[in-house]
Structure 1
Amino acid sequence: MITLRRTTSDNPDFRELVALLDHDLAVRDGDDHAFYVQYNKLVAINHVVVAYLADKAVGCGAFKEYEAGQVEVKRMFVRPEYRGQGIAGAVLAELEQWARELNYAACVLETGKQQPEAIRLYEKSGYAYIPNYGQYAGVDNSVCMKKGLATTQV
């Protein structure tokens, strides 16, 4: 059973997973990797979710405020040997719920064309393609997406 823990970027399990993510991205992105690294610092990220299976950190994700009313989803990763078990979807859903609780109206994100499994996850989770925003405008390898976080009435 997956256990999700809300934490911050100071969490050592999160930092270990991000090191694995950065290694994976360096391989996928090749020469473009240096451009992306500058936008993926771990300083003072206050909204991090780490997924555990049997007390082993197997996946993570985070968000930070992008602009008023919107957060940017960052640092999504699942260890390769644990992929295909719904962990990334659970982490993403928890991040979205946390953003809702903090009264954010939408999530935006950027991913790379070399990450088709991430693109499929976001499509399946209700994210729509948007023009590349901010530092990603005009970057051919980047794919930007957005999802509204309308609260559901019970």
Structure 2
Amino acid sequence: MIDETFIHTTPDDPLIEPIIDGLFAEYRARYGDYFGEQEEEPLGLYTPPDGAFIVLLRHETPIAMGAFKRYNVTTAELKRIWTHGSMRRQGLAQKVLLELERLARLQGYEALFLTTGFRQPEAVRLYLSQGYQPQFDLSIDPERYSQPPFDGRLPFTKTLFDQPARSHYEKSRAV
């Protein structure tokens, strides 16, 4: 049996430094300086009650990760979903995605938003296979989204509930 477990952490955890470095090395390899220097985000964005940062460990070694932060009152924004290159094609990104969805529901989010880069066809396939709705035209060559007026990001959305979640007030009145 494979020993896998999720941990909740922050992007500055020394344990996960190799996987964070791998993520950004891959971004550089795929995009060069297309997206320019990325601003560092406050680490608190990825902690409850508004966010989460999870890492999948196999035999105590980080192999995949993902996070979310508040996008708006009802929507979480997924970020940093990534699997170590040597561990791909095992369904690990899907495991991370499903765990992020579960955590977002627990935190009361009703929907998810995410973007992926125009040179990440495997990410596009993953999100489509999991019911995410593209907010761009799939019939257009993704490289076109790297040209103005686009910014290179391919946005997706997903509703987490079949019907809108009831407000806290409505829930308390139903009891």
Provide the rounded CA distance (Å) in 1 between the counterparts of 2:6 and 2:35. 29
Query: Greater CA radius of gyration, 1 or 2?
Result: 2
| Superposition pairs of residues 1-154 of structure 1, within 5 angstroms | 1=2, 2-34=4-36, 37-38=38-39, 41=41, 43-44=43-44, 45-46=46-47, 47-130=52-135, 138-150=149-161
* Cα distance in 2 between the residues matched to 1:115 and 1:13: 26
Give yes or no for contact 2:11–2:20 (8 Å, CA) kept in 1. Answer: no
Task: Count residues in correspondence.
Answer: 145
Structure 2 unpaired stretches of 5+: 137-147, 164-175
Greater relative contact order (Cα < 8 A, sep 6+): 1
| Alignment root-mean-square deviation, CA | 2.1
Q: Could you list the runs of 4 or more consecutive aligned residues of structure 1 that deviate by over 4 angstroms after TM superposition?
A: none
Q: Residue 77 of structure 2 contacts residue 112 of structure 2 at CA under 8 Å; is this kept in 1? A: yes
Kindly, what percent of the aligned residue pairs are identical? Answer: 32
TM-score by length of 1: 0.85
Partner of 1:134: none
Counterpart of 1:34 in 2: which secondary structure? coil
Task: Specify the SS of the correspondent of 2:34.
Answer: helix
